[in-house]
Amino acid sequence: MTEPLLRVAGVSRSFGGVYAVRDVHLDVAPGELRGVIGPNGAGKSTLFGLIGGQLASRTGTITYAGQRIDRLPPHRRATLGIAIVFQGARVFGGMTVLENVMVGAHATTGGGFVGAALRLPRHHREEREIRHRAREALDRVGLAGWAGRSAESLPLGQQRALQVARALCGRPRLLLLDEPAAGLRAAERNALAQLIEELKAGGLTMIKIEHDVAFVTRLADRVTVLDLGRVIAEGTPAEVRADPAVVAAYLGGEVPT
């Protein structure tokens, strides 16, 4: 078997004595699109926070590209190539589409505010590079023609694509998507699904949280099911849908399709 790009091994996290994520194991292969599903409060977003570094794990290890990352701060993990599109993330108002994406790249390059304030040559070079990457990312998500528009004026589906572009600006190897299709209309969901398929075809490894089981199982190679912080099932979309534990977790009834 190929080395996983990401290995989560025995990771737990509790809040106020209650486990949000409990002894979770997860191996994601390079180029894989992994779906993560589970009822409300199952621990899905907490798991993303542990992988991205926004939350510290108290037990277990997280290895990415052969390197332990579970003690690294979020920006170091971002520099290594892990990007997250957070649940319900909003575009920055009062900025263009291009500027919104450039903000994403600033997170993964050096320089920063001091360089900007002193107008160092390095800063100018970096700014050019960031602009280049931002345009490239917009092109990848089909928003190249919208670069100069106000980000707020975009329809919700395109705002989501913009958030994906912001994440892509750092040229990640692993992209975490937390319910990217939430609140979108059918046509917008289809456009987003197509974008995700294109990213996958380009070799990007992704983990995607979804409430909508049909949406995630349509795209995912494998699906991990969480319930009350634990992994209760993992397999191909067809396998998890037929799994009695999964059916039971979804209100003891049919797995929503």
Ligand X SMILES: Nc1ncnc2c1ncn2[C@@H]1O[C@H](COP(=O)(O)OP(=O)(O)OP(=O)(O)O)[C@@H](O)[C@H]1O
CB of 44 to ligand X, least distance (A): 3
C-alpha pair distances (Å), 41 with each of 44, 199, 203, 228: 7, 29, 31, 7
C-beta of 247: minimal distance to ligand X in Å?
Answer: 18
* Minimum CB distance to ligand X smaller for 139 or for 212: 212
Q: Are 216 and 35 in contact (CB under 8 A)?
A: yes
Q: Which is nearer to ligand X, 22 or 222 (CB)?
A: 22
CB of 66 to ligand X, least distance (A): 27
* Interface with ligand X (CB under 6 A): 15, 20, 38, 40-46
Q: How far is the CB of 132 from ligand X (least distance, A)?
A: 35
Nearer to ligand X, 27 or 178 (CB): 178
Work out how close the CB of 226 gets to ligand X at its nearest, in angstroms, rounded to a whole number. 6
In the complex with ligand X, which residue's Cβ is closer, 229 or 237?
229
Q: Which C-beta is closer to ligand X: that of 15 or that of 92?
A: 15
Cβ proximity to ligand X: between 22 and 241 the closer is 22
* Min dist. Cβ of residue 20 to ligand X (A): 3
Q: From the CB of 154, what's the least distance to ligand X, in Å?
A: 24
Alpha carbon distance 256, 240 (integer Å): 12
Q: Give me the half-sphere count of Cα atoms (radius 13 Å) on the Cβ side of residue 137.
A: 27
DSSP string spanning 159-223? Answer: HHHHHHHHHHTT--SEEEEESTTTT--HHHHHHHHHHHHHHHHTT-EEEEE-S-HHHHHHH-SEE
85 or 137: CB nearest ligand X: 85
